[in-house]
């Protein structure tokens, strides 16, 4: 029997990118430096010494890139705004040329029939604000609301989807606990404070939207379902801690107005007493939630793993991507159904999903063959369809990513793009994944039908 994968009418098909990863020219036209600009130019922090000075040169080539989107039949494009282009010092003085870049991008999208979906913060905090304490400073909520209001006033007439933050967990885990991402701190005392202020900022941004905006705003979380390695009490408790730390630490204050109890076990003495009033700010009504899915983790107790006392158990029976992530499409279904169970029926979008694999050299005039990425995309789109059949209110899917780009501190070697980018020449070449995705979009999913 053939399984049918037609998606509901109105399901939104898109692709996603972020500013520092693709734009290049991070200081052009009066922009201020961001913490990523700083971090990428700190010796030893980036694989291969890579940085975002040029990246995909999207700052200059955005019109051509919109044509690539059009060739795929994309209905929506999710991008992020580099805060320091618009406010070089993070607050106060607006840089009109920076704002104008995003205005021109939005116009170009609309002229090509593509719906813009803007993320306000995808990790590139203005360096001037980091100098004032960054996310450790409680004023960060006001800074963010000021910036958000400027963006809403400038673009809400043309941008119908907004997100406050992208993946605050990664900002905190990489930027404040483990030091692998900007701003490169390593402190269990800082991590919960940064996390809390990020969610206060998100709440303040949503409040600002209610005053200035007319369409829809939400927030984007990365969710990695956690499965216990055994049913021992220790492994089950470790799995609960890992789940609370990664999957609930941000969604709970935003959607439930509280923190999961396990966080006290995770952080111990480093867990602060937060003013109860703060949760009135963090919990704001959202119009949708964006969820990013890449992989899952099987978890066991590990007394030496600080601070979680939990460790992942590799699953050799499944393919792993070049970032070491297990390919496990059922996790996407479990993420979506689990999210609905905990937080209720909120409209959901998959705002990122994709895979890094080695790509063969490009051949002039030919599609780049990337069978492992094709397989990943097909399986995850089929899983998304199963989640809809199970009753999840899933409204759209954004592939990560439109282009190969700067994979943060892992540099340019990890390629997630639908289009291959030759970083020496900036030539874009479609991959077989792009062809599959275009076919899926054109057929409302029927290209996924399989026996």
**Which residues contact ligand GAL by CB under 6 A?**
18, 21, 166-167, 170, 222, 292, 352, 400, 407-408, 416
Shorter beta-carbon distance to ligand GAL: residue 302 or 322: 322
Q: Take residue 296 and report the two structure tokens written for it.
A: 């899952």
For helices 58-72 and 96-111, give the axis angle rounded to 10 degrees.
20
**Closest among 105, 194, 79 to 144, alpha carbons compared:** 194
Pair 367, 373: CB distance under 8 Å: no
> Distance between the two ends of the chain, CA-based, in angstroms?
6
- Residue 138 C-beta: closest distance to ligand GAL, Å: 25
Q: Which two tokens stand for residue 104?
A: 């021109």
Residue 305 tokens, joined: 């793993």
Selecting among 167, 224, 326, 407, the annotated active-site residue is: 167
3-state secondary structure of 263: helix
- Strand-strand pairing, 310-312 and 394-400: unpaired
Select 8 or 324, whichever has its Cβ closest to ligand GAL: 324
Distant-in-sequence, close-in-space partners of 188: CB < 8 Å, separation ≥ 6? 177, 267, 268, 270, 306, 307
**Closest approach of ligand GAL to the CB of residue 423, in Å:** 16
Q: Name the residue nearer to ligand GAL (CB basis): 108 or 352.
A: 352
When the beta carbons of 151 and 402 are compared against ligand GAL, the nearer one is 402
Token pair listed for 217: 């705003």
Q: What sign has the CA pseudo-torsion 39, 20, 408, 50?
A: negative
CB of 394 to ligand GAL, least distance (A): 19
Smallest gap from residue 251 Cβ to ligand GAL (A): 15
Q: In this complex, which beta carbon is closest to ligand GAL, that of residue 179 or of residue 257?
A: 179
* Nearest distance in Å: CB 27, ligand GAL: 21
Q: At what angle do helices 140-155 and 96-111 cross, to 10 degrees?
A: 50
Which residue's structure tokens are 């390593």?
Answer: 186
> Least distance from C-beta 1 to ligand GAL, angstroms?
36
Question: Can 167 be counted among the known catalytic residues?
Answer: yes
Name which of 197, 242, 195, 203 is nearest 223 in CA terms: 242
Q: Which is nearer to ligand GAL, 145 or 181 (CB)?
A: 181
E-only strand ranges, 269-370: 288-292, 297-301, 310-312, 348-352
CB 400, min distance to ligand GAL, A: 5
- As measured in angstroms, the least distance from the Cβ of 231 to ligand GAL is 30
Strands 297-301 and 226-228: parallel
Query: Phi and psi at residue 17, in whole multiples of 5°?
Result: -150, 180
Residue among 134, 76, 101 nearest 399 (CA): 76
Return the closest-CA partner of residue 121 out of 175, 166, 156: 166
Residue 169, token pair as written in the block? 């967990």
d(CA 384, CA 179): 33
Minimum CB distance to ligand GAL smaller for 167 or for 404: 167
- Sign (positive or negative) of CA dihedral 187, 407, 99, 221: negative
Q: Which is nearer to ligand GAL, 278 or 407 (CB)?
A: 407
Nearest to 414 by CA among 39, 50, 34: 50
Pairwise CA distance, residues 238 & 226, whole Å: 10
Side-chain half-sphere CA neighbours of 200 within 13 A: 21
Catalytic pick among 23, 190, 224, 352: 352
Nearer Cβ to ligand GAL (167/359): 167
CB of 352 to ligand GAL, least distance (A): 6
Q: Which active-site residues does the annotation give?
A: 167, 352
């Amino acid at each position: 029997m053939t399984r049918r994968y037609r998606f509901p009418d109105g399901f939104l098909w898109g692709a996603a990118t972020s500013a520092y990863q693709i734009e290049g020219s991070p200081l052009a036209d009066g922009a201020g430096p961001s913490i990523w600009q700083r971090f990428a130019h700190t010796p030893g922090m980036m694989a291969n010494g890579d940085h975002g000075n040029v990246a995909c040169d999207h700052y200059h080539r955005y019109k051509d890139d919109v044509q690539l989107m059009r060739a795929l039949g994309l209905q929506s494009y999710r991008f992020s705004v580099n805060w320091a282009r618009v406010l070089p010092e993070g607050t106060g003085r607006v840089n009109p040329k920076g704002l104008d870049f995003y205005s021109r991008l939005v116009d170009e999208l609309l002229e090509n029939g593509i719906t813009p979906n803007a993320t306000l913060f995808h990790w590139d905090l203005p360096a001037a604000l980091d100098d004032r304490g960054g996310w450790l400073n409680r004023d960060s909520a006001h800074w963010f609301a000021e910036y958000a209001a400027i963006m809403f006033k400038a673009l809400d007439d043309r941008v119908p989807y907004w997100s406050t933050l992208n993946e605050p967990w990664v900002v905190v885990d990489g930027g404040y606990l483990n030091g692998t991402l900007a701003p490169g701190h390593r402190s269990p005392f800082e991590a919960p404070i940064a996390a809390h202020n990020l969610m206060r900022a998100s709440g303040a941004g949503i409040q600002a939207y209610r005053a200035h905006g007319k369409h829809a705003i939400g927030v984007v979380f990365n969710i990695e379902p956690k499965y216990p390695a055994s049913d021992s009490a220790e492994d089950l408790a470790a799995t609960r801690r890992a789940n609370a730390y990664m999957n609930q630490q941000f969604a709970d204050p935003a959607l439930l107005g509280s923190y999961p109890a396990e966080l006290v076990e995770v952080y111990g003495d480093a867990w602060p007493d937060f003013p109860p009033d703060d949760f009135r700010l963090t919990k704001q009504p959202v119009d949708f939630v964006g969820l990013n899915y890449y992989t899952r983790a099987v978890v066991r107790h590990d007394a030496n793993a600080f601070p979680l006392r939990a460790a992942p158990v590799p699953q050799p029976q499944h393919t792993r991507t070049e970032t070491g992530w297990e390919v496990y499409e059922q996790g996407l279904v479990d993420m979506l159904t689990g999210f609905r169970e905990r937080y209720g029926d909120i409209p959901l979008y998959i705002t990122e999903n994709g895979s890094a694999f080695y790509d063969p050299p490009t051949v002039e005039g030919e599609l780049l063959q990337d069978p492992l990425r094709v397989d990943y995309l097909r399986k995850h789109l089929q899983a998304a369809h199963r989640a809809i059949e199970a009753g999840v209110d899933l409204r759209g899917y954004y592939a990560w990513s439109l282009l190969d780009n700067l994979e943060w501190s892992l540099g340019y070697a990890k390629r997630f793009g639908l289009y291959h980018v030759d970083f020496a020449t900036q030539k874009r070449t479609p991959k077989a994944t792009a062809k599959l995705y275009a076919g899926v979009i054109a057929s409302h999913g029927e290209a996924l039908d399989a026996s």
